């Protein structure tokens, strides 16, 4: 043994040299051009009317920011116009507040009755700060103390996407699957309802949608073989009113006589069972961890469904309904009205849970009530929200996993070269698993008519592997290595014209843009970068108007509000993390490119640029 | 060549691997046919003082079959779902020089058996104990200089070296003298 030790001592192996480098970008000629694969049922008719949300879904701005989406239309448009491209260079931090949690902060600060509310990543602490007093002192802090073990079933950092203030309550979810309503006066829980079960891999990370006396929520866990659901709770009591599963028999999915899907492949009985191998629907994913949208004008609810599980698609032949699509439901009964599947039999982890923006928009010579959805699979969908018909679908990022959307069948035209294979690595699939765009929401300005899309420019190599289902553990079955998309910039902010179906300007970012955007009446778009710059750009041109370096990367949702003094303020949380930033916020080794579901391969340099953090920043013009 | 020993060891490992025959591991749990909510048999672990010396560990040092079987089991029991190929994800990295609950072979075994409170399930009674030792051996191998040096491309831990008994001869987790597995003490900024 002493000999062994002696020999060891002779050996110096400089392992620090083994560091991952960010891989080369996918060549430009590997992806399709927008003009090649974008389709619409009719040519643009911009003269047929002005694109804007209805008054019912986007009432006159009261200067508050009571829900993450700002309004039911989900425009994230603040009409405040004190801060403009001309004076933005004067913006300065007014106060900051440490969240005491150094994990990915994805929430929107909520402003109601001159109080600002923040919920942190796990352990989901809620703070209420008094905006009427200097330095915004603490009114109360609420610590829900979620189960520690919930961290072990959260796929992609322990994030939370925010709460909502309504009727004197701040309502939010916890990682261990609770929905909690806090009395904003006392800071005590009015009710707390346990919905998710961490023992089967369920967590909750989404921001509840609160409307018409109900709280709409959904579960996370598509990487752990959960069965997805959306639940409506009574806002006053927290009691469950209805639950709609994303898989299984029609009775469980709340598909009945009102269900009129537009496309033939969605018509039939119990497709949530028959489009799966036997029993696979019970562990088939389809959760709802993104955005549920309430339509006050049409009395409808829209929500996406997440990816099917496992990621290894060879284990689940069939369309795998009703995953990776959008439901329209009756908010009172939960009964489905229509469904549209963006990615039937998803092979690339293209969850359908991104935001829906509700607009009145000219199309085919007349005004249509549309839902604009920016999907992980890379397409901007403009959908007639009265019936679920796709009017146009155009790529907004690099795409080669499909060759466009067939507007007759509604289905993507699959590119066989980029279908994932068992035991074989398929290279340069675009977009990557986290999509051309992930959960972080876009904004829409009725002044410019543009949608400001924060998104990714990333692709991947993928090998599917057989995986066994073990309750409470990951159910993935794929080894993924992500890489930059064409050009090498991993992120973009795109100003998209939904009528003309094309980008008006694009700002390239080195890292994926994982923050939301807010657009203002002063024609500024605010967003944050993962290396910690909080930026304002001109909404008409994309020109940088101002930037400020905060303490950690930004992956949250900025907001704009009117303070007690009548002036405009901008608030944002710093705190890098989430799936894309887990290499900084989690105990992850950048030498493993397959770590964090392959994200580390393309983000291994992030630790050079930022550290974990978690701070509320509020900015204003000089006072 | 810095020393004969690691080469010999690697060679021995190669030879052993040549005649190594993986006994088929027990099939992971069957897919559930039950309806509705399923309560997992897993319970979160608790904080616990770690073992210092477990004589059962001795058989898994310098054991190429153990580390290779462990690599297969690590995938089959979905360890890789949380810990990837050692770099982590839901769970922490296993290939670096930081160990929350102890990095000696017997301590890793104990963690797998008992589970840990931040989300590591307890696998005792769910996986045959010999297989837990094999998985622990593979995990212990991930941070060895030889295993790290064998990384070819972006996926580590694919050619795991057997764990030399010398590796755990000092208290706690350690690397052989004058070797390093340190990528965190100094992080350089962007070029």
Q: Is A601 at the interface with chain B, CB within 8 A?
A: yes
Cβ distance A150 to B119 less than 8 Å, yes or no, reads yes
What pLDDT digit, counting tens, does each position of A20-59 carry? 789 999 999 999 999 999 999 999 999 999 999 999 999 9
Chain A: residue nearest B164 by CA?
A4
Interface check for B98 against chain A (CB to CB < 8 A): the answer is: yes
What's the rounded Cα separation, in Å, for the pair A237 and A425? 51
Span B76-118, pLDDT tens digits: 999 999 999 999 999 999 999 888 888 999 999 999 999 999 9
- Cβ–Cβ gap A472/B81 under 8 Å: no
Q: What percent of chain A has pLDDT over 90?
A: 96
Note if the pTM is more than 0.90.
Answer: yes
Which of B4, B154, B179 to mutate to test binding with chain A, by most A CBs within 10 Å of its CB?
B154
Contact A162, A192 (CB under 8 A): no
Overall average pLDDT of the B149-169 stretch: 93
Residue A127, pLDDT > 80, answer yes
3-class secondary structure for A271-296? HHHHCCCCCHHHHCECCCCCCEEEEC
Confidence of residue B172 (pLDDT cuts 50, 70, 90): low
Q: Is the pLDDT of residue B11 over 60?
A: no
Q: Is the pLDDT of residue B135 over 90?
A: yes
CB A214 within 8 A of CB A232: yes
Query: Buried b vs exposed e over A185-218: b needs ≥16 C-beta within 10 Å?
Result: eebeebbebebbbbbbbbbbbbbbbbbeebbbbb
Contact A289, A206 (CB under 8 A): yes
Given a contact cutoff of 8 angstroms between Cβ atoms, the answer to whether A68 and A164 are in contact is: yes
Residue A98 three-state SS: strand
pLDDT for residue A11 is more than 50: no
pLDDT band, residue B6 (cuts 50/70/90): very low
What is the spatial distance between Cα A102 and Cα B153, in angstroms, rounded to a whole number? 31
Burial of A33 (0-12, 13-18, 19+ CB in 10 A): exposed
List the catalytic residues of A: 223, 307, 349
Chain B hits for A607, CB-CB cut-off 8 Å, are: 187
More confident residue, A205 or B169: A205
Q: Do B32 and A283 touch (CB under 8 A)?
A: yes
- Taking only the tens place, the pLDDT of each residue in A273-299 is 999 999 999 999 999 999 999 999 999
What percentage of chain A carries pLDDT values higher than 70?
97
Could you tell me which of A576, A557, A584, A586 has the C-alpha nearest to residue A614? A576
Task: Nearest chain B residue to A176 by CA: give it.
Answer: B119
Q: Is the CB of B164 inside 8 Å of chain A's CB atoms?
A: yes
Q: Higher-confidence residue: A544 or B168?
A: A544
pLDDT in tens, A67-100: 999 999 999 999 999 999 999 999 999 999 999 9
Average pLDDT over residues A193-201: 96
**Residue B21 reports pLDDT greater than 80:** no
- Is pLDDT above 90 for B45? no
Chain B contact probe: residue of A21, A589, A596 with most B CBs at under 10 A: A589
Q: Which pLDDT score is estimated for A19?
A: 56
Chain B hits for A123, CB-CB cut-off 8 Å, are: none
The answer to whether residues A351 and A324 touch, using CB atoms and an 8 Å cutoff, is yes
- The confidence score (pLDDT) of residue B27 equals 40
Decide if pLDDT at A190 tops 90. yes
Contact across the interface for B179 and A594, Cβ inside 8 Å: no
Higher pLDDT, B191 or A324: A324
How many of the other CB atoms lie within 10 Å of CB of A266? 24
Residue A125 has pLDDT above 90, yes or no: yes
What does the DSSP assignment read for A389-424?
A: EEEEEEESS---SEEEE-TTT--EEE-GGG--BBTB
Contacts of A275 (CB under 8 A, 6+ apart): A318, A319, A320, A321
Distance between CA A217 and CA A178 in Å, rounded? 10
Cβ contacts of residue A133 below 8 Å, gap of 6+? Answer: none
> ω into residue A123 within 30 of 0, thus cis?
yes
Contact A443, A482 (CB under 8 A): no
Strand partners, A568: A562
Structure confidence at residue B25 as a pLDDT band (50, 70, 90): very low
Model pLDDT, residue A139: 98
Task: Please state, in angstroms and rounded to a whole number, the distance separating the CA atoms of residues A212 and B130.
Answer: 57
Say whether A592 and B179 touch across the interface (CB within 8 A). Answer: no
Q: Are B85 and B158 in contact (CB under 8 A)?
A: yes
C-alpha A337/C-alpha A334 separation (Å) is 9
Decide if A474 and B82 are in contact by the 8 Å CB cutoff.
yes
- Name every chain B residue with its beta carbon within 8 A of the beta carbon of A594: 84-85, 87, 154-155
User: Do the chains contact at A1 and B155, CB–CB below 8 Å?
Assistant: no
pLDDT in tens, A548-579: 999 999 999 999 999 999 999 999 999 999 99
Residues A303-356 have pLDDT tens digits of: 999 999 999 999 999 999 999 999 999 999 999 999 999 999 999 999 999 999
What mean pLDDT do residues B131-160 have? 95
ipTM of the predicted assembly exceeds 0.85: yes
**B164: closest CA of chain A, how far (Å):** 9
CA atoms within 13 A on the CB side of A318: 22
- Predicted confidence (pLDDT) at residue B182 exceeds the cutoff of 80: no
| pLDDT the model gives residue B184 | 72
The helix or strand, by DSSP H or E, that contains position B67, with its residue range, turns out to be helix B64-76
User: pLDDT digits over A584-619, tens only?
Assistant: 999 899 999 999 999 999 999 999 999 999 999 999
Distance from CA of B76 to the nearest CA of A (A): 7
Q: Which pLDDT band holds residue B188 (cuts at 50, 70, 90)?
A: confident
* B181: chain A residues, CB-CB within 8 Å: 15
CB-nearest to B93 from A20, A223, A588 is A588
The sign one gets for the Cα dihedral A503, A507, A509, A512 is negative
Tokens standing for residue A347: 């092979």
What residues contact B73, with CB distance under 8 A and at least 6 apart?
A: B25, B79, B127, B131, B134, B135, B138
Question: Among partner residues B6, B41, B119, which is closest to A153 by beta-carbon distance?
Answer: B119
Compute the mean pLDDT over every residue in chain A, rounded to the nearest whole number.
Answer: 96
Are the Cβ atoms of A279 and B189 closer than 8 angstroms?
no
- In the prediction, which pLDDT does B36 show? 31
CB-CB neighbors (< 8 A) of A155 in chain B: 90
pLDDT tens for each residue of A48-59:
999 999 999 999
User: How many other C-beta atoms can be found within 10 angstroms of the C-beta atom of residue A22?
Assistant: 18
Interatomic CA distance for residues A249 and A240, integer angstroms: 20
Per-residue pLDDT at A15:
45
Distance from the Cα of A587 to chain B's closest Cα (Å) equals: 5
Residue found by looking up tokens 């949530």 in the block: A272
CB A104 within 8 A of CB A160: no
Structure tokens at B158: 């694919």
> For the residues A404-421, what does the mean pLDDT come to?
98
Task: Identify the pLDDT of residue A13.
Answer: 46
Q: Are A515 and A557 a contacting pair, CB within 8 Å?
A: yes
At B177, the pLDDT band (50, 70, 90 cuts) reads low
Domains and CATH numbers, chain B: 44-168 (1.10.760.10)
Task: State the average pLDDT over residues A351-377.
Answer: 98
Contacts of A177 in chain B (CB under 8 A): none
Set of chain B residues whose Cβ sits within 8 Å of the Cβ of A200:
37-40
Half-sphere exposure of B135 (CA within 13 A, CB side): 25
| Cα–Cα distance, A376 to A458 (Å, whole number) | 11
Whether B152 has its CB under 8 Å from any CB of chain A: the answer is: no
* Euclidean distance between CA atoms A484 and A490, whole angstroms: 5
Nearest to A582 among B75, B89, B164 (CB): B89
The per-residue pLDDT for B42 is: 55
- Nearest partner of A157 among A289, A323, A284, judged by Cα: A289
Tokens for A148, please give them. Answer: 């520690």
pLDDT of residue B49: 63
Residue A123, C-beta contacts closer than 8 angstroms, at least 6 positions apart: A101, A143, A144, A145, A146, A175
Domains and CATH numbers, chain A: 77-620 (2.140.10.10)
Mean pLDDT of B183-191: 82
Rg (CA), chain A: 23
Residues of B (10-49) whose Cβ lies below 8 Å from A: 27-29, 31-33, 35, 37-42, 44
> Cβ atoms within 10 A of the Cβ of A446, count?
18
Strand ranges across the sheet with A214-218: A209-211, A214-218, A229-234, A240-245
From CA B153, how far away is CA A555, in angstroms rounded?
29
Which residues in B lie closer than 8 A to residue A152 (C-beta atoms)?
Answer: 44, 82, 90-91, 118-121
Q: Which of residues 132-151 of A touch B (CB under 8 A)?
A: 147-151
How many other C-beta atoms lie within 10 A of the C-beta of residue A243? Answer: 15
Q: Give the Å distances, CA to CA, from A189 to A171, A405, A460.
A: 10, 47, 44
The A residues from 471 to 500 touching B (CB cutoff 8 Å) are 471-476, 479, 481
Report pLDDT for B12: 34
Beta bridge partners of A20: none
Q: Tell me the pLDDT tens digit for each residue of A472-485.
A: 999 999 999 999 99
């Amino acid at each position: 043994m002493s000999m062994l030790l002696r020999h060891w001592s002779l050996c110096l192996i400089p392992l620090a040299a083994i560091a991952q480098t960010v891989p080369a970008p996918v060549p430009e000629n590997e992806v399709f051009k927008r003009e090649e694969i974008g389709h619409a049922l009719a040519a643009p008719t911009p003269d047929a009317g002005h694109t804007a949300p209805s008054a019912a879904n986007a009432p006159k701005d009261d200067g508050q920011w009571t829900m993450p989406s700002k309004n039911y239309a989900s425009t994230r448009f603040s009409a405040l116009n004190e801060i403009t491209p001309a004076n933005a260079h004067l913006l300065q931090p007014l106060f900051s507040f440490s969240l005491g949690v150094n994990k990915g902060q994805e929430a929107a600060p909520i402003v109601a009755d001159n109080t600002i509310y923040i919920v942190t990543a796990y352990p989901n602490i809620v703070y209420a700060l008094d905006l009427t007093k200097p330095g915004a002192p603490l009114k109360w802090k609420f610590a829900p103390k979620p189960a520690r073990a919930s961290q072990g079933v959260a796929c992609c950092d322990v994030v939370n996407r925010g709460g909502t203030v309504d009727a004197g309550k701040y309502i939010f979810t916890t990682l261990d699957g609770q929905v909690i309503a806090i009395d904003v006066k006392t800071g005590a829980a009015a009710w707390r309802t346990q919905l998710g079960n961490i023992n089967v891999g369920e967590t909750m990370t989404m921001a509840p949608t609160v409307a018409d006396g109900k709280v709409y929520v959904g579960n996370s866990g598509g990487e752990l073989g959960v069965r997805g659901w959306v639940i409506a709770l009574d806002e006053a009591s927290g009691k469950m009113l209805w639950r709609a599963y994303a898989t299984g028999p029609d009775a469980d999915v709340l598909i009945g006589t009102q269900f009129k899907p537009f496309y033939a492949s969605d018509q039939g009985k119990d497709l949530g069972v028959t489009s799966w191998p036997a029993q696979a629907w019970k562990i088939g994913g389809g959760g709802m961890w993104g955005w549920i949208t309430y339509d006050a004008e049409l009395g409808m609810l829209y929500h996406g469904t997440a990816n099917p599980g496992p990621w290894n698609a060879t284990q689940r032949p069939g369309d795998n309904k009703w995953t990776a699509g959008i439901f329209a439901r009756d908010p009172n009964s939960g009964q489905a009205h229509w469904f549209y599947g963006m990615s039937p039999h998803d092979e690339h982890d293209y969850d359908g849970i991104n935001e829906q923006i509700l607009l009145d928009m000219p199309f085919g010579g007349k005004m249509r009530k549309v839902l604009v959805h920016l999907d992980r699979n890379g397409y901007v969908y403009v959908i007639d929200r009265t019936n679920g018909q796709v009017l146009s679908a155009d790529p907004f990022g690099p795409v080669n996993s499909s060759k466009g959307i067939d507007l007759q069948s509604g289905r993507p035209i699959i590119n066989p070269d980029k279908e994932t294979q068992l035991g074989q690595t398929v290279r340069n699939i675009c977009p990557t698993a986290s999509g051309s765009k992930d959960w972080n929401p876009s904004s829409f300005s009725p002044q410019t008519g543009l949608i400001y899309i924060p998104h990714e420019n990333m692709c991947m190599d993928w090998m599917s592997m057989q995986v066994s289902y073990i309750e409470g553990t990951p159910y993935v079955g794929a080894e993924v290595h992500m890489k930059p998309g064409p050009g090498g910039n991993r992120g973009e902010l795109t100003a998209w014209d939904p009528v003309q179906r094309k980008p008006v300007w694009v700002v390239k970012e080195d890292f994926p843009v994982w923050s939301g955007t807010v657009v203002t009446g002063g024609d500024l778009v605010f967003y944050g970068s993962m290396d910690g710059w909080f930026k304002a750009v001109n909404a008409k041109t994309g020109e940088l108007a101002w930037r400020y370096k905060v303490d950690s990367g930004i992956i949250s949702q900025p907001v704009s509000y009117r303070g007690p003094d009548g002036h405009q303020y901008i608030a944002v949380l710093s705190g890098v993390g989430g799936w894309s930033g887990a290499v900084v916020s989690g105990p992850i080794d950048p030498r493993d490119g397959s770590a964090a579901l392959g994200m580390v391969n393309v983000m291994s340099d992030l630790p050079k640029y930022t550290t974990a953090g978690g701070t509320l920043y509020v900015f204003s013009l000089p006072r | 060549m810095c020393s004969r020993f690691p080469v010999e060891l690697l060679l021995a490992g190669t030879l052993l691997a040549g005649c190594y025959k993986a006994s088929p591991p027990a099939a992971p749990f069957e897919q559930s046919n039950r309806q509705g909510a399923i309560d997992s048999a897993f319970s979160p672990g608790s904080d616990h003082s770690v073992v210092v010396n477990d004589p059962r560990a001795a058989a898994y040092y310098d054991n190429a079959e153990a580390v290779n079987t462990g690599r297969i089991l690590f995938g089959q029991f979905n360890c890789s779902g949380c810990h990837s190929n050692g770099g982590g994800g839901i769970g922490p990295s296993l290939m670096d020089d930081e160990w929350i609950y102890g990095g000696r072979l017997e301590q890793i075994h104990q963690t797998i058996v008992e589970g840990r409170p931040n989300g590591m399930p307890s696998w005792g009674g769910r996986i045959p104990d010999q297989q837990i030792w094999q998985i622990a051996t593979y995990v212990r191998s991930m941070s060895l200089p030889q295993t790290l040096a064998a990384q070819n491309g972006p996926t580590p831990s694919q050619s795991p070296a057997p764990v030399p008994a010398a590796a755990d001869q000092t208290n706690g987790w350690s690397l052989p003298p004058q070797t390093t597995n340190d990528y965190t003490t100094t992080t350089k900024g962007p070029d």
